[in-house]
Amino acid sequence: MAGRFAQFSAVIEAWKRKDVNFILGRMADDIVWHFAAASAPPARGKAECAAFIARFGATIGAVRWRIFTYAESGDRLFVEGVDEYDMVDGRTIIAPYAGVIEFRGDQIVGWRDYVDRGGIDSQKSGAPVPQQVLELVDRPVAR
C-alpha cells in the first residue's frame, strides 16, 4: 500500500485536472467530508460529495493546491497547505488550510478541511489577499 501522502497527492493532482471520477473513486461509499469544518455541514456519502464537487467545480478555473508539510499516523494523514485557485470570473482565491484525511485501505473515509471561510468570502467579494496570508503560502511544497 502506498504512503498516505502519495495517495492524497494523487487526489490533489486529479483536482487540478478536474478528474471527478478519479476523486470519487478514491472515496469510500460512506465517506464523511467536512469541506469547511466548523462552518458548513459535511457531505456524507459519494452522492453528496459529487454534488459538492459539481457546485464548487463550476465556479473555479485553474487550481494550484499545494501541501507544505504533512505527517502520517497509521490510517491518518495530517496536512498543512494552501488551496489556491482562480474563479471563473478571473479572481484568485488564496486560502491556507489544514486537513485530516482518514483512510480505510486505499479509500478515504473521513476528510476534514479547516479553512478560514471569512477570508475566502472576503477575497470573493474583491478584498485583497492579506499580507499575512501571502507570507504563510510563500513556502516550499512537500515532496
Position 2 confidence tier, pLDDT thresholds 50, 70, 90: low
143 pLDDT higher than 80: no
Please tell me the distance from the alpha carbon of residue 111 to that of residue 27, in angstroms, as a whole number: 10
Asked if residue 120 is part of any domain, the answer here is yes
Instruction: Report the number of distinct structural domains present in the chain.
Output: 1
pLDDT digits (tens, 9 = 90+) for 49-83: 999 999 999 999 999 999 999 999 999 999 999 99
Asked if residue 142 is part of any domain, the answer here is no
Could you tell me if 26 and 108 are in contact, meaning their C-beta atoms sit under 8 angstroms apart? yes
Asked if residue 92 is part of any domain, the answer here is yes
Q: What pLDDT is stored for residue 103 in this prediction? A: 98
* CATH at residue 42: 3.10.450.50
Asked if residue 143 is part of any domain, the answer here is no
* Residue 96 exposed, middle or buried by CB count within 10 Å (0-12, 13-18, 19+): buried
Find where cell 478514491 sits. Answer: 26
Please tell me the distance from the alpha carbon of residue 92 to that of residue 75, in angstroms, as a whole number: 33
pLDDT digits (tens, 9 = 90+) for 81-139: 999 999 999 999 999 999 999 999 999 999 999 999 999 999 999 999 999 999 999 99
Q: How many Cβ atoms from other residues are within 10 Å of residue 80's Cβ?
A: 17
Position 1 confidence tier, pLDDT thresholds 50, 70, 90: very low
Q: What pLDDT is stored for residue 20 in this prediction? A: 96
Asked if residue 29 is part of any domain, the answer here is yes
Asked if residue 76 is part of any domain, the answer here is yes
Instruction: For residue 86, give its domain range.
Output: 4-137
Asked if residue 22 is part of any domain, the answer here is yes
- Consecutive H or E run containing 7: helix 4-17
Please tell me the distance from the alpha carbon of residue 50 to that of residue 132, in angstroms, as a whole number: 33
